[in-house]
């Protein structure tokens, strides 16, 4: 295996009991991390554009995706990411191992907070015992808060990954 390549094991979940394991011996960690980081930047750009239109549901959706993909880009520097909208525990473990600086625990907290918004912005959810639509849940306040955390997450990932791969 060449330098910069590690065997990646990707676990895809489809339902609670069904898991698909994919082992990629040839996956370059730089390739995976930079691909995910590029997608995170694109999602952040979309969230910013939709904020100008005051489309808060779409801002929430793309902010959540930017945070998630930033985390997965960071994780991909070291190992395969878990197939979930909330890889916060996996990121925290990398911080605990000393592979990521301690301030990346903050990014892990953003992921944990953002993950449920994927479903809320797509399907809606319960509030005060009643099912609410995405537009009722994804308020301007929630959107602006997630957008700020998306900016911070993407910026931290850009800084780390650029230095990690000496770009």
Q: The domain that contains 132 carries what CATH number? A: 1.20.120.330
Neighbouring residues of 30: CB distance < 8 A, sequence distance ≥ 6: 4, 165
The range of the structural domain enclosing residue 61 comes to 29-164
pLDDT of the chain, 167 residues: tens digit per residue = 344 544 444 444 444 444 443 444 445 788 999 999 999 999 999 999 999 999 999 999 999 999 999 999 999 999 988 889 999 999 999 999 999 999 999 999 999 999 999 999 999 999 999 999 999 999 999 999 999 999 999 999 999 999 998 75
Tell me how many domains the chain contains: 1
Spatial separation of the C-alpha atoms in residues 69 and 84, rounded to whole Å: 11
Task: Tell me whether residue 5 is in a domain.
Answer: no
Sign of CA dihedral 52, 57, 58, 63: positive
User: pTM of the full predicted structure?
Assistant: 0.83
Question: Rounded CA gap, 83 and 63, in Å?
Answer: 18
The two tokens of residue 23 are: 């082992």
């Amino acid at each position: 295996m060449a330098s910069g390549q590690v065997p990646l094991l990707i676990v895809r979940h489809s339902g609670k009991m069904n898991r698909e394991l994919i082992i990629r011996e040839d996956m370059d960690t730089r390739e995976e991390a930079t691909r995910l980081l590029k997608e995170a930047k694109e999602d952040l750009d979309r969230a910013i554009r939709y904020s100008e239109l005051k489309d808060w549901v779409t801002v929430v959706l793309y902010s959540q995706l930017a945070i998630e993909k930033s985390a997965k880009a960071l994780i991909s520097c070291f190992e395969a990411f878990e197939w979930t909208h909330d890889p916060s525990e996996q990121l925290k473990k990398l911080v605990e191992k000393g592979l990521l600086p301690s301030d990346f625990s903050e990014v892990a907290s953003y992921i944990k907070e953002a993950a449920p918004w994927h479903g809320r912005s797509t399907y809606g959810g319960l509030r005060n015992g009643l099912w609410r639509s995405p537009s009722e849940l994804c308020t301007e306040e929630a959107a602006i808060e997630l957008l700020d955390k998306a900016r911070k997450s993407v910026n931290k990932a850009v800084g780390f990954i650029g230095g990690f791969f000496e770009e």
